[in-house]
Structure 1
Amino acid sequence: MDERGWSKYRLSKECGLSESTLANIFRRNVEPSIATLEAICSGFGITLSQFFADDTMVELSPELKELFDNWVALTPEQKQLTIQIMKAFQYK
């Protein structure tokens, strides 16, 4: 969160989780369910395997970095629309 400058509120909106759920994880060391971890990963735009991977860095091309930087700024609704548009381009 700190790397992105996100508050817990922003993370809750990106993940679709309540702030109280995140507070329980961060403050009370409550172990999240797999579904909760998937939601958090989705909010960050990563997979569960990336979440559990070691600290090996993946080098992104400038084009992919720009795409990712723009992606993380989108609302969940905008992300869904973007995915639909991308899928439409695949079939043309």
Structure 2
Amino acid sequence: MCVEEYIPLRITELCEKRGYTKYRLSQLTEMSQTALGNILNKKSMPTVVTLERICDAFGITLAQFFAEDGGRLNLTEDQNEILEIWDNLESKEREILMTFIRSLKK
């Protein structure tokens, strides 16, 4: 699949996975809904900077964006489950979870 087709499909997949609407993604990326719509409708290609903003909104790296398995190699089933749960959390929930995890290290 070429990158022109992959990028909009991947963004759509991540939105569905996170329950984001185009409006929500535009808020998180500080992009207009029109600009996002143009990317999703294959009318324009995002720059690397724009793609980084989109990845930040999803809490992933560019490498994870382009990795077919989300960039999770050689992880145990439990580690994959934890990351799946993490992927579906909102930013505030992630902060709470990180606070809890850090408290376990002490």
TM-score by length of 2: 0.56
* Structure 2: gaps spanning 5 or more residues: 1-14
The CA deviation string for residues 52-79 of structure 1, in whole angstroms up to 9 with x for no partner, is 22x2352563655555544xx23xxx6x
Correspondence for 1:7? 21
Q: Aligned Cα RMSD in Å?
A: 3.1
- Give the number of aligned pairs: 81
Match of 1:56 among 69, 76, 85: 69
Letter in 2 for 1:32: P
- Identity among equivalent positions (%) equals 36
Correspondence for 1:45? 59
Correspondence for 1:34? 48
TM-score by length of 1: 0.63
